[in-house]
Amino acid sequence: MDTRGFNLKSVWIKLASPEEIVGWSHGEVTKPETLNYRTQRPEKDGLFSERIFGPTKDYECYCGKYKKVRYKGVVCEKCGVEVTRAAVRRERMGHITLAAPVTHVWFLRTVPSRLGLLLDIPVSKLEKVIYYAAYVVTKVNAENRARAATALAKEVKTLRKEAAANVEAAGEKAQRLRAVLDELRVGLILSETDYYSLAERFGDVFEADRGAGAIRAILEQMDLRALIKQLKNDLGVVKDETRTKRILRRIKVAKAMVRSGVRPEWMVITMLPILPPDLRPMVALDGGRYATADLNDLYRRVINRNNRLKKLMELRSPEVIITNEKRMLQEAVDSLVDNSARLGSQILSTRRRPLRSLADILKGKQGRFRQNLLGKRVDYSGRSVIVVGPELSLNECGLPKTLALELFRHFVINKIIDRGFAYNIKQANRFIEQGSPEVLAILEEVIEKKKVLLNRAPTLHRLGIQAFNPVLIEDLAIQIPPLVCAAFNADFDGDQMAVHLPLTLEAQYEAVELMDASKNLLKPANGEPIVTPTQDVVLGCYFLTREVPGAKGEGKMFGSRAEVELAYESGVIDINAKITLREGKERLETTCGRIIFNRVLPEGFGFVNEHLGKKLLSKLAARLIEQYDIASTYKYLDRIKNLGFEYATVSSVTWGMADTLVPAEKPRIIAEGEKRAALVESQYGEGLLTDEERREKVIWVWTEVRDEIAKLVPKTLDSKNPIYTIIDSGARGSWAQPLQMMGMKGMVQDTRGEVIELPVKSSYKDGLSVLEYFISTHGARKGSTDTALKTASAGYLTRRLVDVAQDLVVREVDCKSEEGVTIVRKEGEEFSYAFRDRLYSRTSVEDIRIDRKLVVRAGEVITRASAKMIQDSKVESVKVRSPITCRAVNGICAACYGFDLSKNRVVEVGEAVGIVAAQSIGEPGTQLTLRTFHAGGVAGVDITHGLPRVEEIFEARPPRGKASLVKADGTVVSVEERGLARIVKVKPTVLRGKKTKKATDEYLLPTGATLFVKEGDKVKKGDVLSEGSLDLRELLVYRGLDALEHYIVNEVQSIYVSQGAAINDKHIEVIVRQMLSRVVVREAGDTEFMPGDVVDRWEFVRVNREMRRLKKTPAKAVLKVMGITRVALDSPSFLSAASFQETSRVLVGAAIEGRVDPLRGLKENVIIGKLIPAGTGYRGIPASAIEAMRPKREEPPADEEGTGTPPGEAPNAPNS
C-alpha cells in the first residue's frame, strides 16, 4: 500500500450492494479446491486461484510464459494470470454467485434485529421462514381476493337452500375462511399446514414462499419513504407505550437507510465476497501437511453446498431435497459470517473447536482491532531482567552490550561501511560477529546522543514508559536507576523490562523532550513528586541527620562548615554529635551529618536542619522541584541518592532476630483479654447475649488487646534499635509488622472475608501453634486470590475509562465560560482531603480575597502558595472552572482544565487530558487491589468496598443499598414497619391553585438502614430519607447537575483518599463530563432527530443553532447521565466503538446508517495508521528542532591512493 500523501479525513462504512461486491471482485470462485498437493500450486478457479487473486511469485505468471518486471501488467493468454507483484494477493477479492439468496446473520440476529424491525415480524418467526420451517406471504392479489370473498358468500347461500341442518357449521367455517382471507397481507407468516390448506382454497389470491428468497422478494417491493410516512401516521393513533417505542425504532431504521442510500434487500446476500488469499493463508508444515486458516474450511463448505444446489436445480430434483440444500447453504454462510451467532449449529474443527469465522476474526482481545490494529509487535526492541544501578544518574540506564549491539546493529553496520571496515552488509555482519574492538568503539559512538525507551508491564500510566541515555555494561541484565522504581512500580525480584529504540528524528525528539526520565518527576494524577528517595537512601539520610545525645564532641563550637568536617575526619567529633556552628552572624545548633547533607543542596536553598525521614525527604524533593525548574532538579536528587547510599553503608544497620524484643507487659494484657472473653462467653451461656452480640464482643475484646500491645511495641525498642531506625525513618515497613513479629498477630479473616473469632495470641517470634498457623492460612489464601481477581477488574475499569475519554484533547486556550463548580472546604475534610490540594492547579472563576487583600484574580490559576494561603484563611468555598462546564466543542479548553499536574504549568493545547484522567483513576485502582495482598491476611484492609463502588458510580448503575430521595416538598406523615421493609409516607405540599395527583408518596426502605427523618418532619425535594448510596439518575432529576457532579466527585474521592491514593478532582470531572455528554430528545421540532433519541450534547447544540439560523423549530431535550460503557459504545466514531466491545452490533448499526467516522479521537487514528491528533501530532514539531537532531554525515577515510582500507587491516582514520 502506497502511504505517500496518506491523509485520510474520514472513513465511511455502508452495506454493500451485489453490484459493488462484483465490482470489488477479480473473478468468481467456482471450485472448493485450494492448493494442488502434487505441484503445491493453487488450483485454477479455486480459493487460491492465481487467475483471480494474482500471481504467487512477483512478476511471474502461473505457466511461466512471462517472467520479470518488463512484462508488468500483461495478462497471460495461456493461464490468464496478470503479471504483477505478489502483494496484490493481500488486496484482490473474489466472489461466489449464490444459487439461492441467503440472509446476512448479523442483520437478522443482532439485537435489535434490523430485518425484524423493517418487516415488523418477530425474530423467532423470521427464523422459521429463513430456515424453511414456515411460509411468508410475498404477494396478495386484491382483485382475486374480492372474487374469492364473493364466491364464499354465494357458497353460504347455496348451503342454506340445500340443507338447513348443516347451516350453522357451514356458516362458522365460512366466517373463519372470510377472516383468514381478510387477514392475508404481505409479510404474514403461515405454518406449513395453514399454507397448504389456504393454497388449495385460495391459490390465486396470494403467493407465499420460504427461505431468504421470500424475504428478499418482500424487501424488494418495500418503498421506504412510503413506510416512514405510514409509520408517522400510526404514531398519532397508537397510545400503547411499547408499540410507540417499536414504531419509533422502525422509523429510525427506515430513515437511516433512506439517508445512506441503502436498499433493504441488500441485507440478503446473493453475491458472497471472498477475502484475499494472503489474509487466510495456507502454510506448509514439516511432513507434507498444511496449516490452514479456518476461513478456508468455511468458504469450502459454502462452495460445496452452492455447487451441489446448482446441480440439484439443474436436475430438477424433488423440492424437499432442494429445500434441504438451501437450508444447508444458509447455515454454511451463517457460520462463515459469524460462527457463534446461532448456538447449537456451530461448525467445529476436527479437534472439536469452533472454527474462527469472519466475526471472530474482528472481535475480542485476539481480534483484528485489538490484536493487530491497536497493538502491534515492534522491531528494534528487546527485553531482559532488571537489576538496580545505584551509580546511574536518574536519566541513565545500563544496557547489556549484547542487547545494545542487536538494537543498534543497523547503525553500527552503517558506520562500519562508512569507515571502510567492510564493503557490504554481509561483510559488516561478519565483522560484528568476530567481536572486533572497533565494533564496541563504534557502538559507544552510535549510542552517544540516542535515547532508548524502557517499559515495564503492566503500563498503568504514562510513567510506565520513559526515555533514558543508554550506558553500556558487561552484564546481561538491564540496570535502572533506583529513583525511577516508584514510577515503574518496579522491584528487583525478577521483574523484566522491555527496551525500545525510537528510530525517526521526530521520535528521538519526543523521547528527549517529553519522555526523558529527568523531566518526568511529578505524578500526572496529583502533581506530587514520584521521584523521591526511598528505602536505603532514606535510611542513609536518616542516619546522617540524626542527633545522638552524649555523642563524642557534643557541645563543641565551630567557626565554619569546613572546620566541622575536618574535626569529623580527624575523629574529634562524632557524625551525630550536637555542635554549634557560626553561620554569618547567627549561631546554629546542628550536627556534622546535617552539614554534610547540606553540601548536596543548591546554593541559596537555605540550611536544612532537621532529622530527615521519608516524609521530610519527600517534602524536600517537592520544594526543590518547585523552586528550581524540573529539568535541573534531577541533579540534586541524584546527589541526595548517592549520599544516602554512602551513609546507609556507613550506618551498617542490620535486622536480626535478637533485635525483636517481646514487650514485658504482653502476658498480663493477654491474660486480661482472656478473662474478658470468658466473661462474655458466660453472659452468653446465661442467655444475656445473642450469638451475634457475643461474637461482636469477643472480636472487640481481642481488637482492644491487639491495640494495647501495638502501643507498647515501639516503646519496647530503643531509638538506636535497627528495627526502630528502619521503621521510624520510613525506609521500609510500618509498625504493623513488628507488632506481628514481637507482639501478637491478632484477629485473622477467613476466605469469605469475615473475622475468625479465635485470635492468634502468639507473635512470629514466639512461634504460632498448629491451630493458629492453620487459621492464619485462610487469610493468606484469600489475599492471593483477591489479588488475582481484582487486578483483572481494575484493568477492565481502566480500559473502559480510556475508551470513554480517549477523544478528549485540549483544543483551545479559553472557551470564555463563566460557569464552574464550587469546591467546599468541609466536603473534602469529611474524608480528610485537604482543601489546598483540591484548589491547587484550578482556574478561579471569581477574585479571591483574604482580609480584603486580593490573592487570586478571576481567570488565574491557583498555585500551591495561593492554595496554602486560602487553606490557612477563613474562606469556606471557592468557585473554579471545570471540564464539566467547559464550552469547548469536541474537547476541553486549557483554562477550564488549569495546570498540567506533571509539569506544574498551564496545560498545553493538544494535551490528551482524557487519557491522562483515565490513567490517573485506573492506576491507583490497580494499586489498591494489589495492596490487599501485602496485609498478609490480617483482618481489616481490603478494597472490595472500593473498587466495585467506583465501578458502580462510573457505570451509573442503581446502587446496592440505595437511599431514597424525596420527589417533592412535603411533610412526613408516618413511618410504618411492614415485614422486612419500612414505609415512609410523605404528603406533598400543594401550592395554591394546583392539584396533586396523589394524597401521599410512599417510599420503601430496608429495615436495617438508618432513617434521617421522623414523623412530622418537613422535607424538601431531593432530601435523602435514609443512609445508603444515591442513584445518579434520581439525583440528576431531583437535585440537578450541580449536586450530581459534587456527589460523584466526592464519592469517588472518599474511596481513593481512604486508600491513600490521591487523585486530583479534575481527572474525575473529565470522566463526569463524558458521562453527561448525551441528551435525550423529547420533541424533535423540524430536526432529523426522533423523540427518545440519545444524541451527543454538542451535536444537539449545533443542529439547534442551525435550525434557529434557518428560522425553523429547534428540538427539545433533557440531559441524561450515562454509564461509561454506554457512552463509549455510543461514540461518534464507529471504529473506536467497534474496537471496544460488541463489535458486530456497532458495525451493523453503522453500516445501516452509512456512518462517517470523522477520525477525531486517538483510537481511530491509531487503527488507520495515522499520527494521533494529540501532543506533537496536534501541535507539530518545529523543523529547527528536528534539524538540530540530524546526525552529521562523515566522509569515509581514504589512504594515499584514495581507496578505502581493506577489511581486517588497521585503518588510517583518526581514533574514534
> How confident is the model over 876-900, as pLDDT tens digits?
889 999 999 999 988 999 999 999 9
Element (H, E) at 95: strand 93-103
Binned at pLDDT 50, 70 and 90, residue 1195 comes out as low
Q: Is the Cβ–Cβ distance between 486 and 531 less than 8 Å? A: yes
Q: What is the mean pLDDT of residues 70-86?
A: 90
Superfamily in which the 662-716+734-767 domain is placed by CATH: RNA polymerase Rpb1 funnel domain (1.10.132.30)
Binned at pLDDT 50, 70 and 90, residue 287 comes out as confident
Instruction: Provide the percentage of residues in the chain whose pLDDT is more than 90.
Output: 46
Q: Is the pLDDT of residue 785 over 90?
A: no
Q: What is the mean pLDDT of residues 757-764?
A: 89
Binned at pLDDT 50, 70 and 90, residue 162 comes out as low
What are the extents of the domains in the chain? 31-92+276-287, 138-209, 535-651, 662-716+734-767, 809-911
Residues contacting 356, CB < 8 A, separation 6+: 293, 294, 295, 339
Binned at pLDDT 50, 70 and 90, residue 167 comes out as low
Three-state SS annotation for 1160-1211? CCHHHHHHHCCCCCCCHHHHCCCHHHHHHHCCCCCCCCCCCCCCCCCCCCCC
Name the DSSP class of 676. H
| Nearest 10 degrees: Cα torsion 493, 496, 501, 506 | -80
Least confident window among 232-241, 668-677, 1156-1165:
232-241
Q: What is the mean pLDDT of residues 642-667?
A: 89
Q: Is the pLDDT of residue 993 over 80?
A: no
Q: Does the annotation place 541 within a ligand binding site?
A: no
Q: What is the mean pLDDT of residues 704-721?
A: 89
* pLDDT score, position 413: 94
Of the candidates 1008, 1005, 1041, 1042, which has an alpha carbon nearest to the alpha carbon of residue 1024? 1005
Q: What is the mean pLDDT of residues 939-950?
A: 58
Q: Does the annotation place 896 within a ligand binding site?
A: yes
Q: Which residue reads 481502566 in cell numbers?
A: 798
pLDDT in tens, 1078-1127: 999 998 888 888 888 899 998 999 999 999 999 999 999 999 999 999 99
Q: How far is CA 718 from each of CA 49, 140, 840, rounded to the nearest angstrom?
A: 85, 101, 41
Classify residue 997 as exposed, middle or buried by CB count within 10 Å of its CB (0-12, 13-18, 19+): exposed
| Nearest 10 degrees: Cα torsion 884, 887, 890, 895 | -80
Q: Does the annotation place 485 within a ligand binding site?
A: no
Q: What is the mean pLDDT of residues 540-553?
A: 89
* pLDDT score, position 586: 84
Q: Does the annotation place 297 within a ligand binding site?
A: no
* pLDDT score, position 647: 92
Q: What is the mean pLDDT of residues 84-108?
A: 94
Residues contacting 964, CB < 8 A, separation 6+: 984, 1003, 1004, 1005, 1024, 1025, 1026
Classify residue 791 as exposed, middle or buried by CB count within 10 Å of its CB (0-12, 13-18, 19+): middle
* pLDDT score, position 198: 85
Task: Spell out the alpha helix ranges (H) of 717-769.
Answer: 722-729, 736-738
Predicted model pTM: 0.89
Q: How far apart are CA 1186 and CA 509, in angstroms?
A: 7
Q: How far apart are CA 186 and CA 137, in angstroms?
A: 5
Fold identical between 535-651 and 662-716+734-767?
Answer: no
Specify the CATH architecture of the domain 535-651: Orthogonal Bundle (1.10)
* pLDDT score, position 889: 87
> Distance between the two ends of the chain, CA-based, in angstroms?
42
pLDDT in tens, 602-632: 888 888 988 999 999 999 998 898 888 887 8
Rounded (5°) CA angle 321-325-330: 150
Task: Spell out the alpha helix ranges (H) of 93-210.
Answer: 105-109, 114-119, 123-130, 142-162, 167-183, 192-202
Q: Is the pLDDT of residue 160 over 70?
A: no
Mean pLDDT rounded to a whole number for the chain: 87
pLDDT in tens, 10-67: 999 999 999 999 999 999 999 999 998 888 899 999 999 999 999 999 899 888 888 8
What DSSP assignment string belongs to 60-74? B-SSSSSBSGGGTTP
Binned at pLDDT 50, 70 and 90, residue 927 comes out as low
Q: How far apart are CA 884 and CA 294, in angstroms?
A: 48
Least confident window among 58-62, 293-297, 681-685, 1023-1027:
1023-1027
Q: How far apart are CA 680 and CA 978, in angstroms?
A: 34
Higher per-residue confidence, 937 vs 1061: 1061
Least confident window among 383-387, 633-637, 779-783, 1033-1037:
779-783
Reading the block at residue 766, the C-alpha cell is 514466639
Instruction: Give the start-end residues of each E strand in 1044-1198.
Output: 1078-1083, 1094-1096, 1116-1120, 1156-1157
Least confident window among 301-315, 645-659, 956-970:
956-970
Q: Is the Cβ–Cβ distance between 430 and 358 less than 8 Å? A: no
Q: How far apart are CA 596 and CA 272, in angstroms?
A: 80
Q: Is 759 helix (H, G, I), strand (E, B) or coil?
A: coil
Q: What is the mean pLDDT of residues 446-474?
A: 93
Helix, strand and coil content of the chain, in percent to the nearest 5, comes to: 45, 15, 40
φ/ψ (deg, to 5) at 765: -70, -40
Longest dimension (CA), the chain: 141
Q: Is 1004 helix (H, G, I), strand (E, B) or coil?
A: strand
Q: How far apart are CA 796 and CA 365, in angstroms?
A: 12
Q: How far apart are CA 849 and CA 862, in angstroms?
A: 13
Q: Is the pLDDT of residue 1203 over 50?
A: no
Q: Does the annotation place 815 within a ligand binding site?
A: yes
pLDDT in tens, 170-200: 667 777 777 888 888 888 898 888 888 888 8
* pLDDT score, position 1200: 43
Classify residue 16 as exposed, middle or buried by CB count within 10 Å of its CB (0-12, 13-18, 19+): middle
* pLDDT score, position 371: 87
Q: Is the Cβ–Cβ distance between 395 and 634 less than 8 Å? A: yes
Q: What is the mean pLDDT of residues 1173-1195?
A: 82
Q: Is the pLDDT of residue 1209 over 50?
A: no
Q: What is the mean pLDDT of residues 341-355?
A: 80
* pLDDT score, position 65: 87
